[in-house]
Structure 1
């Protein structure tokens, strides 16, 4: 049986981008910011405040979890990874957005036909 995550949808752009960034594997905060910028072609840039507010929320919801602490010369870096629930929520949001895009394309096509 497929779980219903509609109470978590729609995802905010920042939440969507954080979950999407973690599909490639474990990342620390700065790595998430870099991956978000890469995946969006530089069109969406996330600052540390937005990132860590979202990380805190996603940890609480169980959509991501802390992966491991990586030692460096200064202080440890926390890495995060997508949980199975997080992956399912991202898949549900992707389905929802696919429907939105389908309707937008249909509406634009009809608009063009009426005005050409």
Structure 2
């Protein structure tokens, strides 16, 4: 069983599922997909991308020059999609376990907190 994926890694891989993106595009997509909960910093992103390339989960797609600056695009590999799928299943199982426990709690009358009278 693989170790749980770090949250930035999860969102980087998730951002790359639909299409190759450059660094700033990954930052924007991860923020959008996480409803703003994740704000990747450039240093975190590029360190993670280097690691993910070395692990074979992401690979460079192409480079282009825009306004004199190089942009490198990255894409998700099949191994990266498999790792993301496994992590999504792990998270789903964890959420299902928590939901079942909360359902049991409500069944025994331990549901939402009672409001105190004014």
Same fold (TM over 0.5): yes
* Counterpart among 27, 30, 51 of residue 45 in structure 2: 51
Greater C-alpha radius of gyration: 2
Aligned CA-pair RMSD? 1.1
Structure showing greater relative contact order (alpha-carbon pairs closer than 8 Å, 6 or more residues apart): 1
Which runs of 5 or more structure 2 residues have no equivalent in the other structure? Answer: 112-118
**Partner residue in 1 for 2:79:** 85
What stretches of structure 1 of length at least 5 have no aligned partner?
1-5
Query: What is the aligned partner in structure 1 of residue 13 from structure 2?
Result: 19
Runs of 4+ in 1 over 6 A off after TM superposition: none
**1:32-111 → structure 2 map (5 Å cutoff):** 32-111=26-105
Larger fraction in helix = 1
TM-score by length of 1: 0.90
* Deviation, structure 1 residue 75: 2.2
Q: TM-score normalized by structure 2?
A: 0.88
Deviations 1:62-82 (A, max 9, x none): 000000011223121100000
